[in-house]
């Protein structure tokens, strides 16, 4: 998948912030839970690929979760999921994001770049 924000992220910072939006069917609950145990264990043992970091996980009551990740690029995070959570990967939308509030240097730089691009037209 091509990430439209990735060039902005790479221009402003070496890592991409990504929200993983997970939504799975009830019948996949046991499989997903086993994959989550494996994935969290990999993270706790610091055996994940270089640069991949999980900041937070927020569970939903309807067979889903939202997770905030940092990765060198979108493909690296997707490949991590394909390896350690193939069922969860199929139930996930990966959304690259920039923190807008409180404002970060990356967000401010992305606004300046957008302004200069618009002014050049």
User: What is the tens place of the pLDDT at every residue in 30-75?
Assistant: 999 999 999 999 999 999 999 999 999 999 989 999 999 999 999 9
Position 46 scores a pLDDT of 96
**How far apart are the two ends of the chain, measured CA to CA in Å?**
28
Q: Which CATH architecture has domain 14-98?
A: 2-Layer Sandwich (3.30)
CB atoms near residue 12 (< 10 Å) = 19
User: Above 90 in pLDDT, residue 14?
Assistant: no
The two structure tokens encoding residue 108: 């401010």
pTM of the predicted protein model: 0.77
- Computed on alpha carbons and rounded to an integer, the radius of gyration of the chain in Å comes to 16
pLDDT in tens, 83-101: 999 999 999 999 999 888 7
């Amino acid at each position: 998948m091509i990430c439209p924000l990735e060039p902005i992220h790479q221009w402003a910072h070496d890592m991409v912030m990504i929200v993983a939006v997970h939504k799975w069917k009830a019948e996949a609950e046991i499989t997903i839970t086993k994959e989550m145990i494996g994935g969290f264990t990999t993270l706790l043992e610091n055996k994940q690929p270089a640069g991949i970091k999980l900041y937070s996980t927020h569970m939903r009551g309807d067979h889903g979760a939202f997770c905030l990740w940092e990765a060198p690029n979108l493909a690296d995070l997707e490949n991590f999921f394909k390896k350690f959570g193939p069922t969860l990967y199929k139930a996930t939308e990966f959304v690259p994001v920039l923190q807008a509030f409180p404002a970060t240097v990356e967000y401010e730089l992305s606004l300046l770049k957008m302004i200069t691009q618009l002014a050049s037209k």
